Chain A
Amino acid sequence: MCTVCGCGEGEARIEAHDHHHHHHGDESPGSRLVRIEQDILAKNNEYAAANRRHFSERGIHCLNLVSSPGSGKTALLIRTLNDLKGEFALGVIEGDQQTSLDADRIRETGVPAIQINTGKGCHLDGHRVGHALESLKPERGSLLFIENVGNLVCPAAFDLGEAHKVVILSVTEGEDKPIKYPDMFHAADLMLLNKIDLLPHLDFDRERCIDYARRVNPRIKVIQTSARTGEGMADWYQWLRASRQMALAGHPVLAGEG
């Protein structure tokens, strides 16, 4: 008998809202049904929840940076770390399939960084980030950046325990990226539209791109940046300060900061 709906037997009709979806007739003797009823990502979500607890106990504000390969995540981070290292304790977790080049570039700023190589995995997951935290040991009250693997698909589904996903889109990509990868733009709270120094050489339609992003996610905030010239970076830092203040309202780590 079906453990979900209690039906005796049924033909296999795999369609929406059809409870009688099972083949029952051809179960071989000795086999049984086990009810699971679990989100496929339940396990990842448990690890992410543990990371989130770790962050909230220590007043760590964590941001998960996602984009396609080459949109400028590392360049933006390096500039951000150099500009903010006098203001906040900082830390970086770098996801990359093969190399530790990005982590090496980050460490040159003097900010502690740890590399996670995902191998064939095209995204970071909650479990790997949990282990990275054990080695990196980010400071209480710090800002922690996670640079995800360059990929606009998988990282959308894998919660790492961050306060916000920040999606970076560069103007050298198509303005239709938000509607081609709606899950990512839906999951992000902020979009950094990067490499705007290159706009004069391109026919990228900024308004159209931002409009597409808002269609997928009406709440998304947009800041235009250039990691090369520094344009727009001050707005990004303001967003970081404000989102941290909001997330840590009432937390003891803020008390010491005046």
Chain B
Amino acid sequence: MHELSLCESLLQIMERSAVEQGYSRVKRVWLEIGALAGVEVEAMRFGFDVATRGSLAEGAGLEIIELPGEAWCMACAKKVPVRQRYDECPACGGCQLQVTGGDQMRIKELEVE
């Protein structure tokens, strides 16, 4: 499962940060997930629980900030909202869209002790 491996990467980032910043427990995690990142939020929550079991982040709260997909339409010469990568332009129906936002998956911040 894709989300599980993402959560394993997330755990590695937290473990490294814990050493650098001197903390032993993560209580809450804020993630930014774009609509085009190919991530299922529910699967991410499940993967997080599995990946963090027995780790410094076991039981931590997961706050997911969902960001909308956004693309540049060549034909319309403007930014348009998109729900999926292969969407057509909602304005002109064309498909020359360049994704400009909403494909990120970032860890923003941790609450730790």
Known contacts being A30-B113, A156-B38, is A16 close to B68, with CB within 8 Å?
yes
A12 touches B63 (CB 8 A): yes
In the complex, the 3 A-B pairs of residues with the closest C-beta atoms, listed nearest first: A31-B113, A182-B85, A183-B38
**Closest CB in chain B relative to A158 CB, distance in Å:** 8
Task: Among A43, A125, A157, find the residue whose CB has the most chain B CB atoms closer than 10 A.
Answer: A157
Contact residues of B: prevailing secondary structure: mixed
Q: Which residues of A contact B30 (CB under 8 A)?
A: 21-22
* A18→B65 CA distance, assembly (Å): 8
A186 touches B85 (CB 8 A): yes
The digit string for A152-193, where 1 denotes a CB below 8 A from any CB of B, is 011011100000000000000000001100110010000000
B63 touches A14 (CB 8 A): yes
Known contacts being A16-B66, A154-B2, A216-B85, is A37 close to B108, with CB within 8 Å?
yes
The digit string for B42-75, where 1 denotes a CB below 8 A from any CB of A, is 0000000000000000000001111110000000
Q: Which residues of A contact B (CB under 8 A)?
A: 2-4, 12, 14-18, 21-23, 27-28, 30-44, 121-123, 125, 153-154, 156-158, 178-179, 182-183, 186, 212, 215-216, 218
Closest to A180 in B: B86
B108 touches A35 (CB 8 A): yes
Q: Which residues of A contact B12 (CB under 8 A)?
A: 43
A123 touches B5 (CB 8 A): yes
Q: Which residues of B contact A16 (CB under 8 A)?
A: 65-68
Known contacts being A43-B12, A157-B38, is A34 close to B110, with CB within 8 Å?
yes
Known contacts being A27-B111, A39-B104, A153-B38, is A34 close to B23, with CB within 8 Å?
yes
Closest to B33 in A: A40
Contact residues of A: prevailing secondary structure: loop
Seed contacts A35-B108, A38-B106; 9 additional CB < 8 Å A-B pairs: A17-B67, A18-B65, A32-B113, A34-B111, A34-B112, A36-B17, A37-B108, A40-B31, A40-B106
**Closest CB in chain B relative to A48 CB, distance in Å:** 12
* A36→B16 CA distance, assembly (Å): 11
B91 at the interface (CB under 8 A from A): no
The digit string for B31-44, where 1 denotes a CB below 8 A from any CB of A, is 10000001000000
B27 at the interface (CB under 8 A from A): yes
* A44→B21 CA distance, assembly (Å): 21
**Closest CB in chain B relative to A117 CB, distance in Å:** 15
B13 touches A43 (CB 8 A): yes
**Closest CB in chain B relative to A36 CB, distance in Å:** 5
B107 touches A40 (CB 8 A): yes
7 A-B pairs with CB atoms under 8 Å apart are A2-B109, A36-B109, A44-B9, A153-B38, A182-B38, A212-B86, A215-B86
A40 touches B6 (CB 8 A): yes
**Closest CB in chain B relative to A20 CB, distance in Å:** 11
**Closest CB in chain A relative to B70 CB, distance in Å:** 10
A182 touches B86 (CB 8 A): yes
Known contacts being A31-B111, A218-B96, is A40 close to B21, with CB within 8 Å?
no
B76 at the interface (CB under 8 A from A): no
* A42→B107 CA distance, assembly (Å): 10
**Closest CB in chain A relative to B12 CB, distance in Å:** 6
* A34→B23 CA distance, assembly (Å): 10
* A15→B32 CA distance, assembly (Å): 10
A179 touches B108 (CB 8 A): no
